[in-house]
Amino acid sequence: MSSPTPAPEAPLPALPGTSGGRTGMIGDAGWRLPAIVVTINAVLMIFTAVTTLRKFPNAGDEYASMIQAVLLSDFRLSADSPPGDLARFFDFNHVINDGRFYGKYPPGWPLLLAIGVTLGVPWLVNTVIGVATLLVLHRIARQHFSVEAANLTLLLLLANPFLVFHSASHFAHPSCLLMIALAYGFYFNWVENPTSRRDAILLGFCAGFAFLIRTFTTVALLFPLLVSFVPLLKKRGWPKSDLLQLAWASGSLGVCLAVFLGYNYLQTGNPFLQPFSKYSAKDRPWLPDDLPTYGRWVWDFVVLRIWELTTLWLPMCLPLAAASLFIRELRANPKVRILLWSVVCLLMGFSLYPSDGGVRYGPRYAYETLAALALLCGAVLALLPRLRIPVVAVIVVINVGSFVTTSVEVGEELKGKTELYETVRRQNLSNAVVFLKTGSGTAVTGDLTRNGPYFKGSVLYVKDLGEMNLTLIQEMVDRVPYEFVYDRERKVGRLTPIPVKGGR
């Protein structure tokens, strides 16, 4: 006898205030409010990418992803490093340069970025992803919570600098966030309709693709989904229909894992050795030997990160999310528990990763919690009709203030970082090689040797290696050598021709 098909899990009850004129736009089931919020954020993302960030990959992480995207757009996994010891001049942070030249990160984000490279608009890829994320969050909240929750979820993200700046960047985080949000949505659909093959397959694919983008982040965020599904199957009596869809989900997930392992093998010769680990085996989560050290990590990378997140980048997000534990309609909802545990797992997971992330717009290692936190905050405020308007107003004001402040700060930072390239442009150099005796602004030399993967630019930027410089100068007899020095007091760069003994 076949197992009976389990009844779908009941969705959240309708939230109060779903009818009548008193809810205004927040209770409007149409697309007017979502269209306004999405349009404003899209304009801010494009403005930030073009004007504030100048389409410039601010962090070395971003440029390393660009290197890999360019290679993948050319259907290549790597380029040849400069020969012998000359390769040292061209070392770039986060890029492997050992005879083969390629980025250290997993292939998921570079694959998406390669589309933008091919179309000539790599700076626009994350903006498209950011807009898609807003639409996905609205749909999840509307389908699994309420119309009010969906509209409030978007309103809380209006002009939000965390979302806007990352969506204007070349970071991998926005693409991982989108895949995580989709995974939440397809999982919730699947729980309600366990016979849905479509939702099972798409859940596995989105989880797998997120793993291809940011491995550790994905495992931490989606661990609660796995943990919650096992007892759910047990409660249902392990029906064959559920197990069949689980097999489909595992299959689509397995395809992504096969790509992950295959990519590792082609790059490092070992399917279980990531280029990331080959670049630096110490760059990984680990547990210190003594409790005081771990206590400092928890303070620095959990407590202070939560404070930064809650006060500036996702205002009031943690208190609002925690309020779901005290609201009867939400407390017993398994979807709410999954979202809460997802946030906890990621925040605590990075207590084992002692790094602040370097260049960042807010606590970027917590960026992928944005989906769960926004959904939770929207669901909570939908059930607090008297508080929703003042709370949303305060949050939007903080968003706008933080966005303006961040724009000014980042614009000033970018001015210093790009001074090297602006100095070269002002002096109209060509057919030159520039030795970096200093960094530029806050950027170190290892973040400035930006020569693409093929080293064919009119001007090449290389590290200053002292006495070895003459070797490169003699090798590149067709290029005029210069040295670059950044004056930190005047905040300007200076290019000086390097005299070559005996002339040219």
Give 20's pLDDT tier (boundaries 50, 70, 90). Answer: very low
- Tell me: do 223 and 126 sit in the same domain: yes
Domain assignment of residue 357, yes or no: yes
Domain assignment of residue 212, yes or no: yes
- Tell me: do 443 and 314 sit in the same domain: no
Domain assignment of residue 289, yes or no: yes
Residue 14 vs residue 27, higher pLDDT: 27
pLDDT tens figures, 280-318: 988 888 888 889 999 999 999 999 999 999 999 999 999
Among the candidates 409, 429, 453, a domain finishes at: 409
Q: Does position 6 have pLDDT exceeding 60, yes or no?
A: no
- Tell me: do 34 and 178 sit in the same domain: yes
Range with the poorest average pLDDT among 53-57, 173-177, 289-293, 339-343: 289-293
Domain assignment of residue 65, yes or no: no
**Please, are residues 163 and 169 in contact by the beta-carbon 8 Å criterion?**
no
Domain assignment of residue 94, yes or no: no
- Tell me: do 273 and 375 sit in the same domain: yes
pLDDT tens figures, 145-158: 999 999 999 999 99
- Tell me: do 360 and 247 sit in the same domain: yes
What confidence score (pLDDT) does residue 317 get? 94
- Tell me: do 401 and 423 sit in the same domain: no
- Tell me: do 202 and 230 sit in the same domain: yes
CA–CA dist 293, 354 (Å, integer): 10
DSSP string, 38-85: HHHHHHHHHHIIIIISTT---SHHHHHHHHHHHHHHTT-S-EEPPSGG
Residue 231 vs residue 125, higher pLDDT: 125
- Tell me: do 403 and 432 sit in the same domain: no
**Please, are residues 163 and 41 in contact by the beta-carbon 8 Å criterion?**
yes
What confidence score (pLDDT) does residue 2 get? 40
Q: How many domains does the chain have?
A: 2
- Tell me: do 347 and 482 sit in the same domain: no
Residue 285: domain span: 21-52+105-409
Average confidence score pLDDT of the chain: 91
pLDDT mean over 244-273: 95
pLDDT mean over 160-184: 98
Among the candidates 365, 385, 409, a domain finishes at: 409
- Tell me: do 488 and 342 sit in the same domain: no
Sign of the alpha-carbon dihedral angle for 218, 338, 195, 143: negative
Domain assignment of residue 2, yes or no: no
- Tell me: do 405 and 428 sit in the same domain: no
- Tell me: do 405 and 424 sit in the same domain: no
Residues contacting residue 445 through CB under 8 Å, at least 6 positions apart: 436, 438, 439, 463, 464
Give 361's pLDDT tier (boundaries 50, 70, 90). Answer: very high
Among the candidates 382, 409, 436, a domain finishes at: 409
